[in-house]
Amino acid sequence: MNLSINLNKIALIRNARGQDQPNIENFALSAVKLGVDGLTLHPRPDLRHATPDDVSKLREICEKHTKELNIEGNPFSQKTQDYPGFLEIIKSNPPFQVTLVPDENNQLTSDHGWDSKYLNSKFFSLIEEHTPTETKFVSIFVDHNFSALNDIKGTIINSIEIYTGPLAKAVEENNKKQLTSIQLAISKLVEDAKSAKLKVNAGHDLNLDNLKFLKECAEIDEVSIGHSLIVDALKYGFDATILKYINAVKGYGYY
């Protein structure tokens, strides 16, 4: 399983002072040199954290160090005075992977996957028209009970990312019944997605405590982790935390 780390929170802290500390490039380089498989950013229209300029900087780092850049966002996010629009961002800086999320502009964080009613021919045509040829994977953010895999067969979508917020909550609340139900649903979704030749990613609220419960479900190709990693970095230090997450994701058995 690969680990991509989301650096939005580094950008958020930086933006709070309007300067360039902490420097997102320095943290990206540290993570890359320590062995993460990729870097993730989710530049939102309000520019609360990651910016289009950050995307450009991290793309250079990933290209230089042969790492995978994943850019998340809503394809319907339109251009504003300071935001060029999500599709323009990925056009200007083609990432290795694009993850499409259904977030509203005023949404605090990603908290649900795509409703299948939006996954129509108009949606797929829009994505196909604006996805750079250099981008290898186009992923959609889905809930663990997503049941519309047939709707994406034969389209540009070749990957899914499973929203793991409910799994994390069940672990935190020690709700074993709910956890078992979610794990079974994830296992089924992964099995079906793999049968459809789709890459399977997962992310949101994953941490050192609940990663093992996700790994029990099935073979996930990649996890993207940001908020919890930065929270842990406040306790252990950034570099030590990166190593803890690499060990937890890769299954080395110690962290």
Give me the helix-helix angle, 176-195 and 165-172, nearest 10°: 150
d(CA 25, CA 234) in angstroms, rounded, equals: 19
Sketch out the chain's domains with CATH numbers.
2-249 (3.20.20.70)
Is residue 42 among the annotated active site residues?
A: yes
Write down the pTM of the prediction.
0.95
Residue with tokens 């540290």: 30
Tens digit of each residue's pLDDT (9 = 90 or more) over 170-229: 999 999 999 999 999 999 999 999 999 999 999 999 999 999 999 999 999 999 999 999
29: left (phi over 0), alpha (psi -120 to 50) or beta: alpha
Task: Supply φ then ψ for residue 4, to 5 degrees.
Answer: -115, 130
DSSP 77: P
Buried b (16+ CB within 10 A) or exposed e, 188-225: ebbebbeeeebbbbbbbbbbbebbebbbebbebbbbbb
- Catalytic residue from among 42, 49, 144, 161: 42
Q: Which two tokens stand for residue 220?
A: 């996930």
Q: What is the largest CA-CA distance in the chain?
A: 48
What is the model's pLDDT at position 73?
A: 95
Q: For residue 26, report the phi and psi dihedrals to the nearest 5 degrees.
A: -65, -40
Distance of CA 196 to the CA centre of its chain: 21
pLDDT at 240: 98
Catalytic residue (one of 68, 72, 161, 222)? 72
* β partners of residue 5: 39, 225
What tokens appear for 35 in the block? Answer: 């062995």
**Could you tell me if 97 and 62 are in contact, meaning their C-beta atoms sit under 8 angstroms apart?**
no
pLDDT tens-digit readout, 225-251 = 999 999 999 999 999 999 999 999 998
Q: What is the DSSP letter of 78?
A: P
Q: State the catalytic residue, choosing from 49, 144, 204, 222.
A: 204
- 101-123 pLDDT per residue, tens: 998 777 667 778 899 999 999 99
